[in-house]
């Protein structure tokens, strides 16, 4: 059977396997639409999260103590400005600036600087400071240890309120202090930058006070050592006859030298390599000549062979006509012999030329090899003698490095001096006129962001936990079950009343379901149908009632059997007595006519469930149920059986084997997929034939998937106010 789209539903083959439709065949929702749909479905949680976080933000803002921030700005240069520079440029030392600035930022936030600020400003005796940071008031009888603890607490409090902010792409740094007092903030900020500047000067002075005098003494000693080592190196090289051609110093300060003998060895080695290649080439040419390959490549020999081939061909042609003593044959044979002698002579001449070239190449190779051996002997001797020279050279290199390093340091100290400083104050701290925190706008924005994040987390968790059917097409995708109908949710009237109105959305939905049923079997709509669901209150009984009404409206005779003998519901929906019904017939009462009630309002007949029996499963499993269905089929065109739910009971599988097929009812947005899968597995194990599924109570949550109310639902052009929005 082909797929049929009719009234918002889709038919697939009844025996379609699980996953009949691939995900690529199903139109998926855009990501933005999925997110908006999830937000709308959980809008109460979203609003609650936003309002709650906003209230917490406002409460924190109004309860927080106002803080006043004062900022001072300083400039930190990698090295001190040069006072003698005509153009005002600064001589920068070769240091790692990134490491330097990170060190300065760490010094600005160091505990030692905080303790220095506390001592310089005598903050432990400042009442405003004590009150602002809620410290213990100092007493006259406090011991030195107690005063030290108080100073430590004050330093910790300052570090907590300190903020060091470097300005990008500049040498400027902002130092900010926040306290409840505007004047106190400005005072501490100024103290902080002034003490940092003074601490830097103290460190520089302590590090360089004796450096100049020490370096002058050391430079004199190193200069004498360098001169002595260089003199010893030159004398040794002259004595041993070691001639150095080139000398260069690497990045590590080591001197690499090349002697005259090493240069000669390199040149002769290169010439020997070329001579060896020439000898190998001459040997290859000689070998090729001996095997007959070279002469084939020579132009002269090639021409002679071509002429001989032509003469041989002419001789063969003449022999086919004349005898061997014929003059023309004799002449042709003589020509072939002459050409053979010429080829042999040319080959011999080529071989002699190759032999001479080979002999010359061998002679040159031997001469160069002998010269290389002689130089190698001299080089090895010189190498043994150069061990001491290398020791002397290393001593020269070491002395030179020490001398040049100290000389550079001596120059740096002479240029930078000790009395200058590379840190300067750009802006002094000012008394702030308004609090810097709390900021109402910032806190509200932060609270809204937190609310959005919390709402997103809640929506994500709820979406992951919700495994119900939202898109009715998932019935086919997940369970391999054809989707026969989608039923909208109505709120203003009972379904039993709404289905009587042929203009209602409910009637249109079930009429579409009935139309799809006509394609299931060759004889049209199945004559015996069982309607069931996974659990109670999924719209199973309403679907049975409405389907029977729609079938009866087409002129068919329909009888509905309420097989839910444990919990009858149709008699309550229809407001009819339940004195005698199915349970009585299954117990042995054969008065079927007395059990059938005609419903003129709906156009069909019904057999109610009857009294609740103590052994419902035994009654439904008896052969009398088959007899009842066969008897009803003789009097009615269609028999609809309203079955109990599948889970927890054995009734539905027992009934399913006695009808043509089963319509499985699923409540949208409620029934879990695991529950549905378990129910379908039980029905399939019982041998029931599943016609398809009906998705009921489709409401506003399903609009994003193409199922909603009004025209968008696909069943009605009006009366949208009767459908849940």
* Closest by Cα among 537, 211, 261, 500 to 374: 261
Residue range 148-175: average pLDDT?
88
Per-residue pLDDT, 169: 83
Q: Which pLDDT value is given to residue 385?
A: 64
DSSP-assigned letter for residue 469 = -
Mean pLDDT over each residue of the chain, to the nearest integer: 77
Q: How many CB atoms lie within 10 A of CB 526?
A: 21
Query: Nearest Cα to 641, choosing from 603, 626, 650?
Result: 626
Give pTM, 2 decimals: 0.49
pLDDT (mean) for 370-392: 71
> What's the confidence (pLDDT) of residue 28?
55
- 299 forms bridges with which residues in the sheet? none
Higher per-residue pLDDT: 550 or 224? 550
**Topology of domain 68-209+422-427, per CATH?**
Bacterial polysaccharide co-polymerase-like (3.30.1890)
Give residue 534's pLDDT.
Answer: 87
CA 354 from chain centre, in angstroms, equals 71
Name the band, by pLDDT with cuts 50, 70 and 90, for residue 32.
Answer: confident
pLDDT bucket at 259, cuts 50 / 70 / 90: low
pLDDT digits (tens, 9 = 90+) for 529-551: 999 998 888 888 888 889 999 99
Task: Tell me the CA distances in angstroms from 179 to 119, 120, 186, 196, 422, one per residue in order.
Answer: 18, 18, 9, 20, 30
pLDDT at 516 over 60: yes
Characterize 27-66 residue by residue with b for buried, 16 or more Cβ atoms within 10 angstroms of its Cβ, and e for exposed.
Answer: eeeeeeeeeebbeebbeebbeebbeebbeebeeebeeeee
pLDDT attached to residue 396: 76
- Per-residue pLDDT, 632: 92
Query: For position 246, what pLDDT does the model report?
Result: 62
Work out the pLDDT band at 673, boundaries 50, 70, 90.
Answer: confident
pLDDT tens-digit readout, 285-328 = 666 554 444 444 456 767 777 878 887 887 788 778 877 777 87
pLDDT exceeds 50 at position 53: yes
Confidence at residue 663, expressed as pLDDT on a 0 to 100 scale: 92
pLDDT at 82 over 50: no
Secondary structure (3-state) at 494: coil
Per the CB < 8 A criterion, the answer to whether 553 and 601 are in contact is: no
More confident residue, 121 or 275: 121
Q: Region 43-56: what's the mean pLDDT?
A: 87
- Contacts of 476 by beta carbon, 8 Å cutoff, 6+ apart: 10, 12, 16, 20, 21, 482, 483
For residue 94, the model assigns a pLDDT of: 42
**Domain extents for the chain?**
31-64+438-465, 68-209+422-427, 257-416, 467-722
Using CA atoms in the order 708, 710, 716, 717, what is the torsion angle rounded to 10 degrees?
A: -150
Section 550-563 average pLDDT? 91
**Which H helix or E strand runs over 69?**
strand 68-76
Residue by residue, DSSP assigns 177-245 as EEES-HHHHHHHHHHHHHHHHHHHHHHHHHHHTTHHHHHHHHHHHHHHHHHHHHHHHHHHHHHHT--EE
Q: Tell me the residue ranges of DSSP E strands in 577-659.
A: 596-599, 604-607, 638-642
Residues in the chain: 725
Q: Is 502 exposed, middle or buried (0-12, 13-18, 19+ CB in 10 A)?
A: exposed
3-state secondary structure of 665: strand
- Over range 160-179, report the average pLDDT: 89
CA atoms lying within 13 Å on the CB side of residue 432: 23
Q: How far apart are the first and last CA of the chain?
A: 36
- Predicted confidence at residue 702, as pLDDT, reads 55
CATH assignment of 467-722? 3.40.50.300
Q: How far apart are CA 676 and CA 682, in angstroms?
A: 10
Please tell me the predicted confidence (pLDDT) of residue 141.
Answer: 60
Which pLDDT band holds residue 421 (cuts at 50, 70, 90)?
confident
DSSP tag of 614: S
């Amino acid at each position: 059977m082909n797929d049929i789209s009719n009234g918002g539903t889709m038919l697939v083959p009844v025996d379609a396997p699980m996953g009949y439709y691939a995900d690529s065949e199903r139109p998926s929702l855009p990501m933005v639409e999925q997110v908006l749909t999830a937000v709308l479905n959980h809008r109460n949680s979203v609003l609650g999260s936003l309002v709650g976080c906003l209230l917490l933000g406002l409460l924190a803002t109004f309860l927080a103590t106002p803080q006043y921030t004062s900022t001072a700005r300083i400039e930190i240069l990698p090295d001190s400005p040069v006072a003698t520079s005509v153009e005002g440029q600064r001589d920068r030392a070769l240091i790692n600036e990134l490491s330097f600035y990170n060190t300065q930022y760490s010094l600005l936030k160091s505990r030692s600087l905080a303790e220095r600020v506390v001592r310089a400003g005598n903050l432990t005796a400042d009442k405003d400071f004590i009150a602002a940071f809620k410290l213990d008031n100092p007493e006259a009888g406090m011991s030195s240890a107690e005063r030290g603890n108080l100073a430590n607490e004050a330093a910790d409090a300052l570090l907590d309120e300190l903020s060091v902010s470097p300005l990008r792409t500049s040498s400027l740094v902002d130092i900010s202090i926040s306290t409840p007092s505007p004047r106190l903030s400005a005072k501490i900020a100024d103290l902080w930058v002034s003490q940092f500047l003074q601490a830097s000067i103290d460190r520089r002075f302590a590090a360089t006070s004796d450096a100049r005098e020490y370096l002058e003494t050391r430079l004199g000693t190193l200069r004498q050592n360098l001169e002595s080592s260089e003199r010893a190196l030159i004398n040794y090289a002259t004595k041993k006859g070691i001639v150095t051609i080139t000398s260069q110093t690497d990045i590590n300060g080591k001197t690499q030298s090349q002697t005259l003998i090493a240069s000669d060895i390199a040149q002769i080695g290169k010439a020997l390599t070329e001579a060896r290649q020439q000898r190998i080439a001459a040997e290859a040419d000689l070998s090729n000549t001996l095997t007959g390959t070279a002469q084939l490549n020579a132009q002269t020999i090639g021409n002679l062979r071509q002429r001989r081939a032509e003469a041989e061909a002419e001789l063969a042609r003449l022999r086919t006509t004349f005898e061997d003593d014929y003059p023309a044959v004799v002449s042709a044979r003589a020509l072939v012999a002459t050409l053979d002698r010429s080829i042999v002579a040319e080959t011999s001449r080529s071989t002699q030329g190759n032999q001479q070239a080979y002999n010359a190449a061998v002679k040159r190779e031997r001469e160069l090899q002998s010269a290389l051996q002689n130089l190698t002997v001299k080089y090895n001797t010189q190498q043994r003698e150069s061990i001491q020279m290398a020791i002397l050279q290393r001593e020269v290199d070491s002395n030179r490095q020490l001398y040049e390093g100290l000389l550079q340091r001596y120059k740096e100290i002479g240029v930078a001096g000790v009395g200058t400083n590379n840190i300067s104050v750009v802006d002094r701290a000012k008394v702030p006129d308004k609090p810097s925190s709390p900021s109402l706008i910032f806190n509200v924005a932060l609270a809204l962001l937190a609310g959005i994040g919390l709402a997103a987390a809640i929506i994500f968790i709820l979406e992951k936990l919700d495994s119900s059917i939202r898109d009715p097409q998932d019935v086919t995708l997940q369970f391999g079950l054809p989707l026969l109908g989608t039923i909208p949710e109505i709120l203003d009237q009972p379904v039993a009343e709404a289905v009587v109105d042929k203009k209602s959305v409910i009637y249109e939905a079930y009429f579409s379901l009935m139309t799809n049923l006509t394609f299931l079997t060759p004889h049209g709509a199945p004559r015996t149908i069982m309607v069931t669901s996974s659990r109670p209150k999924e719209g199973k009984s309403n679907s049975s009632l409405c389907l029977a009404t729609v079938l009866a409206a087409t002129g068919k005779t329909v009888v509905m059997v309420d097989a839910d003998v444990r919990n009858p519901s149709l008699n309550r929906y229809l407001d009819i007595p339940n004195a005698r019904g199915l349970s009585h017939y299954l117990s042995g009462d054969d008065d079927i006519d007395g059990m059938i009630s005609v419903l003129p309002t709906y156009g069909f007949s019904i057999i109610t469930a009857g009294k609740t029996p103590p052994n419902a499963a035994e009654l439904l499993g008896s052969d009398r149920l088959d007899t009842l269905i066969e008897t009803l089929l003789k009097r009615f065109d269609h028999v609809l059986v309203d079955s109990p739910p599948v889970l927890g009971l054995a009734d539905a599988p027992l009934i399913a084997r006695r009808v043509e097929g089963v319509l499985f009812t699923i409540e949208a947005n409620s029934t879990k997929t695991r529950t549905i899968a378990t129910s379908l597995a039980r029905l399939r194990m019982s041998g029931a034939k599943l016609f398809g599924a009906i998705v009921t109570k489709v409401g506003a949550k399903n609009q994003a998937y193409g199922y909603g109310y009004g025209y968008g639902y696909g069943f009605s052009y009006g009366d949208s106010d009767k459908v849940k929005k």
